[in-house]
């Protein structure tokens, strides 16, 4: 004979759906399916929160709107989390963020710029010859990616000052 499953939630829990709820106690969020705890994480662990709520949506245990209402997150952020989960699974939430590399100052450009600077060519002329902006080259010098050799005039001034 079939028994009716009553949604018995723990005291103090917040209902997400008729069978899914969560509690927030002591800096920890615990998710319950009926009365059984199914997952928990720290309240400050945002990647894990996004991962588990997206998993609930993808597996059909909750809709994006229900998660959005229960936690007060935007529907757009839930849609993004679900899309990320479908594309890369749980690991996608913990992967390092993809960043762009140097678009202008590639290794070959840096080498050519350093050769020009070693020949004591002015920064603006080196930049023009390489087809980049002089400010870009100046920023690379200030950041330490390139070194600008001391000019002979400055070296002479230093030597005469020390006498």
| Residue 159 buriedness (CB in 10 A; 0-12 / 13-18 / 19+) | exposed
82 and 143 share one domain: no
Is there a single domain that holds both residue 43 and residue 80?
A: yes
Q: Tell me the pTM.
A: 0.60
- In the block, tokens 């699974």 appear at 89
H-helix or E-strand spanning residue 55: helix 46-59
The neighbouring-strand residues paired with 153 are none
In a domain, 120, yes or no: yes
Distance CA 56, CA 52 (A): 6
Q: How many domains would you assign to the chain? A: 2
Same domain, 23 and 84: yes
Q: What is the mean pLDDT of residues 8-32?
A: 89
Residue 161 inside a domain? The answer is no
Q: Is the pLDDT of residue 95 over 80?
A: yes
**Interval 96-120: pLDDT, tens:** 988 776 678 888 889 999 999 998 8
Instruction: Give residue 78's domain range.
Output: 14-93
Domain identity same for 138 and 89? no
Which two three-digit tokens encode residue 56? Answer: 């609930």
In a domain, 49, yes or no: yes
- Percent over 90 (pLDDT), the chain: 55
Residues 89 and 127 in one domain: no
Which range has the worst mean pLDDT, 34-38, 128-132, 157-161? 157-161
**Distance from CA of residue 46 to its chain's centroid?**
12
In a domain, 48, yes or no: yes
- Torsion 52-55-57-61 (CA) sign: negative
Last residue of a domain, one of 28, 58, 93: 93
């Amino acid at each position: 004979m079939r028994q009716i499953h009553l949604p018995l939630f723990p005291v103090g829990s917040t209902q997400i759906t008729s069978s899914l709820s969560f509690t927030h106690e002591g800096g920890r969020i615990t998710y319950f399916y009926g009365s059984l705890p199914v997952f928990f994480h720290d309240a400050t662990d945002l990647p894990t929160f996004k991962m588990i709520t997206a998993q609930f949506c993808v597996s059909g245990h909750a809709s994006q709107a229900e998660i959005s209402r229960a936690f007060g997150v935007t529907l757009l952020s839930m849609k993004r989390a679900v899309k990320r989960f479908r594309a890369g699974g749980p690991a996608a939430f913990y992967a390092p963020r993809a960043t762009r590399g140097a678009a202008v100052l590639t290794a070959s450009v840096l080498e050519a710029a350093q050769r020009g600077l070693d020949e004591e060519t002015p920064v603006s002329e080196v930049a023009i010859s390489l087809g980049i902006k002089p400010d870009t080259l100046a920023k690379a010098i200030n950041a330490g990616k390139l070194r600008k050799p001391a000019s002979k005039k400055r070296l002479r001034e230093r030597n005469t000052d020390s006498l």
